[in-house]
Amino acid sequence: MRTITRPLLFTLIILLMNSSCKPGKEASVTDENFVYEIDRFDDIRVLRYRVPGFEELSLNQKQLIYYLSEAALCGRDILWDQNFRYNLVIRKTIEAIILTYNGERECDEFEAFMAYAKRVFFANGIHHHYSNEKFRPGFPQEYFDTLIANSDPAELPDFEGKDAEALSLFLKPVLFDDNLYYWRAFQSAGADMITSSANNFYDGVTQAEVEEYYAAVVNPSDPRPVEYGLNTRVVKSDGKVTEIPYRSGGLYGAAIDMIVMWLEKAGGVAENELQKKQIDLLVDYYKTGDLKKWDDYNVVWAGNTATMVDYINGFVETYADPMGMKATWEAIVNYKDIEATRRTEIISANAQWFEDNSPVDPRYRKEEVTGIAASVINIAMLGGDCYPASPLGINLPNSNWIRKEVGSKSVTLANISEAYDKASQGSGFLEEFAENDSETARAKKFGSQAGALHTDMHECIGHASGRLAPGTDPNALRNYASPLEEMRADLFALYYLPDPKVVELGLLPEEEAAMAAYDNYLRNGLLTQLVRIRPGRQIEQAHMRCRAAISRWVYEKGNPENIVEMINRDGKVYVKINDYRKLRVLFGQMLAEVQRIKSEGDFEAGMELIESYGIKVDPVLHNGILERYAKLDLAPYSGFVNPILTPVVDSRGRIKDIALDYVDDYTGQMIYYGRNYSFLTAVN
C-alpha cells in the first residue's frame, strides 16, 4: 500500500472575520472599554480575549483550569522544535538579545530586529504560520553579528559548544539564505514532500522510504487502527528507517514530564470520575508514547461531555505535515458557555433530519448519525499550536473509528470569535468589498449570527455527515483529503443555511440572514481571502483551497444563468449574487459530488476539483484586491495573548482562589514564556 496519509477529519476553521464591521467606533475599544487589540506588526494583529464568567466558577473548577493551563504552557518548546530543527536555538538567541543586548536600541536596525522577533514569536518559528514561507529579516546580516557580539554570552543558548561568533556564523545562512529551509511544509505535485520541507518530523529519509516504511507497518484491514505515526519522528539509523516516539524518557521527554506533572495535579481536582480516568489515561500515554493508549484516552474523552471544564492536550492535528501523519503539539483549556450551547444542541438534536434530507446519494448518507456533542466554549488558555493563532472551532478526536463508534466533541470558541468581531469594528473592510449598500447592511445585521451558525453546522453536522462505500480506502484522497473534507463540511452548512427548517428551529430569525452568509462566503472565496496570499503565490492552505474551490465552482457552473456575477466597476471587482435559490441548488450539487468523491475514494476526481478550482490565483484580480486592501491598512492575521492565572494562597499555603489578570504586552508574554516554560535543549 502506498496510501499512508490519513484523511484530515475536521478540525479547525479559520475564517476571515469580515462580517461584523460597524463604523464609527475605535477599532480596539468596546462598550465595556475592554481593549482587544494590543499590538500590530507586519501582517499580524495581536488581540486579547476576555474570559467571561471566570469569577463565577467554583474554586475547584478554577483550580482545574489553573493546573490544565500550566500543562498547556509546558509543551511550547515541542512545537517550536517540530516546526524546524533550529527554531529553539534561534528563539533562545533572540531572547538573549532582547534581554541583554547592550548596544544602541533606538535605531532602525534594532527596530527591524524587534519586528523580526515578533514575527518569529508569533509563528513559533522562522516560517510564517500560515503561508509556511521563511521570513526575511529586515536588517542586514552583519547587524546580526553585532547583536550577538554585544549580548551576554552566558545568556546565549548552549548549541554544540559554539561561542558567540560561531553561533552567529552558523545562524546567518539559516535566517538569511532563501535557498535554505525556505518552506516549512512543501506540497507540490511531483516534489519529494519530505526532503523539500524544513519541518522536523522526518530526518534523513525520503518520501519514498517513509511511504514504504508505513506500508509495512499499517494494517489496512484493522477496523480500529491507531493514528499511525502521529507522535514520532522518522529517522534512519544504521541504514534502517525507524521511529522515535515523543514520550517521557524519549524525544521531548523533558517537556512531556512537566506536562505530566501538571496533568496529575489536574486529575486530583477533576470534576467527575470519567474526567479523572481520562487524565490518568493521557498521563499513561505521555509516559509510554503508546498510540493504543491515546485511543483509549480519546474514547473516554469523547464520551465525557458532562463537565464544565474541558481541555485539549496532545499531538493532535496533522496539518503541518505534508504527509498528513505527524501531529503538532497543541493545548487549550476551556469551559462551557451555557447559553450559546443551547443553539448547537438544537442542531445536534436534529442531525438525523439534516442527514436524511441532504442532496447526497442515499448510499453515502449515514443511516445513523451518532454522538455529535456540540457546545460553545470560552477559552481560558491557549498553548502549543493554538497559540497565538487560535482556531475558532474544533471537532475531535480525529480517529475515524472513534468518531464512528463513540462520536466526537465539537466546539466553537465564543470569546475568541468575540475578540475577532470586536477588534474588526470600524475597519472599513466590508464597505470596500461589498457590492452595494444593501449587502453591507445585510452583513451588519445578520453577518455575525449567520457566520456563527455556519461554523456550528460545519462542525456539528457537516464533518459528521456521510459514509464511505464498502471497501473504500479511507486514505485514498491523500494530499487532497484535507481541502475536500473541509469542502464537505462547508457545503453541508451552505446547503442548509437557507432551509426553512433553520428558521423553524429558531436558529436564524429569517431567510435573509442566510443571504448574508452566502454573500460573505462568495465575497471571501472569490475575492477577499486573497489578501492572505503574497503576489505571485498560489493558494496553499487547506481551508483556503476549500473556499476557493467551492466559490469558483459555483461561479462557473452558474455562469450560463448568471447566478453569480463578477462585476468590474471603476477598476474594482465585486461579487453579486443574482439568484440565491439557484445558488443553493449548486451548493447541493457540489455537496453530492464531493461526498461521492470521498465515499468512493475517487482520487482523480478529487485532484481535478482541487487543482482546477482551489489553487491558482489570477494575478490581475489578486493585485487589485491587494491594492484595495492595502489602503485600508489592516492586518490579515490575528493571534492572541493569554491572561495570567495566579493561585491566591491563605496563610497555611492552601489555594483559596485563582486570580486572573489580562496582559497588554505581547513581547513581554513571549519573553515570560521563554523564561518560565522552556524545558528543551537547543536542538532535539
Cβ proximity to Zn ion, 337 vs 486, nearer residue: 486
> Least separation, in Å, of the C-beta of 546 and Zn ion?
8
What angle in degrees, to the nearest 10, is found between the helix axes of 87-100 and 666-676? 110
Helix or strand run (H / E) with residue 440: helix 437-457
Residues 475 and 3: beta-carbon distance below 8 Å: yes
Q: Which stretch binds Zn ion (CB under 5 A): 3-11, 80-88, 402-410, 649-657?
A: 3-11
Q: How many chain residues interact with Zn ion (CB under 5 A)?
A: 3
151 vs 395, beta carbon nearer Zn ion:
395
Shortest spacing between CB 36 and Zn ion, in angstroms = 25
Helix or strand or coil: residue 500?
helix
Residue 42: exposure state from Cβ atoms within 10 A (0-12, 13-18, ≥19): middle
At CA 408, angle to CA 402 and CA 409, rounded to 5?
Answer: 150
Query: Among 4-12, 240-248, 313-321, 518-526, which window interacts with Zn ion (CB under 5 A)?
Result: 4-12
Residue 409 bridge partners (DSSP): 373, 396
- Which positions from 42 through 81 interact with Zn ion, judged by CB under 5 A? none
Residue matched to cell numbers 528543551: 680
At a CB cut-off of 8 Å and minimum separation 6, what does 27 contact?
37, 423, 424, 425, 426, 427
CB of 350 to Zn ion, least distance (A): 20
The three-state DSSP-derived secondary structure of 53-101 is CHHHCCHHHHHHHHHHHHHHHCCHHHHHHHHCCCHHHHHHHHHHHHHHC
Across the beta sheet with 232-237, the strand order is: 202-203, 232-237, 240-245
Q: Which stretch binds Zn ion (CB under 5 A): 9-17, 32-40, 270-278, 370-378?
A: 9-17
CB of residue 13 vs Zn ion: minimum separation in angstroms?
5
Q: CB-wise, 255 or 489, nearer to Zn ion?
A: 489
What's the min distance (Å) between Cβ of 478 and Zn ion?
18
Query: Measured from the CB of residue 11, what is the shortest distance to Zn ion in angstroms?
Result: 6
388's CB contacts (< 8 A; 6+ apart) are 46, 121, 122, 382, 639, 640, 641, 666
Of 518, 520, 524, 481, which Cα lies nearest the Cα of 496? 518
For the CB of residue 12, give the shortest distance to Zn ion in the complex, in Å: 7
Between 227 and 317, whose beta carbon lies closer to Zn ion? 317
Which residue, 451 or 674, is less far from Zn ion as judged by CB? Answer: 451
550 binds Zn ion (CB under 5 A): no
- The span of 7-15, 177-185, 436-444, 472-480 binding Zn ion (CB under 5 A) equals 7-15
With respect to Zn ion, which residue has the nearer C-beta, 120 or 489? Answer: 489
From 5-13, 118-126, 142-150, 673-681, give the range in contact with Zn ion by CB under 5 A: 5-13
Cβ-based nearer residue to Zn ion, 67 or 492: 492
Q: How far is the CB of 5 from Zn ion (least distance, A)?
A: 17
DSSP string, 140-199: -HHHHHHHHHTS-GGGS---TT--HHHHHHHHHHHHH-TTSS-BSS---TTS-TTTT--S
With 0-12 CB in 10 A as exposed, 13-18 as middle and 19+ as buried, what is 31? exposed
Q: Return the number of the residue (439 or 486) whose C-beta is nearest Zn ion.
A: 486
CB of 458 to Zn ion, least distance (A): 6
Round to whole Å and give the CA distance between 440 and 432. Answer: 9
Hey, which residues between 474 and 513 contact Zn ion (CB under 5 A)?
486, 489
Q: Supply φ then ψ for residue 377, to 5 degrees.
A: -125, 165
Taking the least distance from each CB to Zn ion, the nearer of 124 and 410 is 410
289 versus 466: smaller Cβ distance to Zn ion: 466
Contacting residues for 485 by C-beta, under 8 A, at least 6 apart: 7, 8, 9, 10, 463, 598
- Phi first, then psi: give them for residue 552, nearest 5 degrees: -75, -35
Binding track, positions 512-531, relative to Zn ion; x by CB under 5 A: --------------------
Complex with Zn ion: residue 321 or 486, whichever CB lies closer: 486
Q: How far is residue 288's CA from residue 245's CA, in Å, rounded to a whole number?
A: 9
Closer Cβ to Zn ion, 481 or 670, answer by number: 481
CB of 263 or CB of 489, closer to Zn ion: 489
For residue 19, the minimal CB distance to Zn ion (Å) is 18
Residue nearer to Zn ion on the CB measure, 85 or 454: 454
Considering the complex, what minimum distance in angstroms separates the CB of residue 129 from Zn ion?
Answer: 18
Give the integer Cα–Cα distance in Å for 242 and 250.
Answer: 14
Binding mask 429-468 for Zn ion (x = CB under 5 A): ----------------------------------------
Q: Nearest distance from residue 185's CB to Zn ion, in Å?
A: 19
Q: How far is the CB of 463 from Zn ion (least distance, A)?
A: 6
- Residue number with CB closer to Zn ion (124 or 398): 398
Minimum distance, C-beta of residue 488 to Zn ion, in the bound complex (Å)? 9
Specify the amino acid at residue 132: N
The residue among 65 and 460 lying less far from Zn ion, judged by its C-beta, is 460
Closest CA to 330 of 353, 313, 347, 309: 313
Among residues 3, 5, 10, 377, the one that binds Zn ion under rule CB under 5 A: 10
Q: Using an 8 Å Cβ cutoff, are 569 and 664 in contact?
A: no
Q: By three-state DSSP, how is residue 529 classified?
A: helix
Residue 470 DSSP one-character state: T
For the bound state, the minimum distance from the C-beta of residue 486 to Zn ion, rounded and expressed in Å, comes to: 5
Q: How far apart are CA 586 and CA 580, in angstroms?
A: 10
Rounded least distance, CB 9 to Zn ion, Å: 8
Q: Binding segment for Zn ion among 6-14, 199-207, 416-424, 498-506 (CB under 5 A)?
A: 6-14
β-pair partners for 565: 576
Helix, strand, coil in percent for the chain, rounding step 5: 50, 15, 35
Residues in the site for Zn ion, rule: CB under 5 A? 10, 486, 489
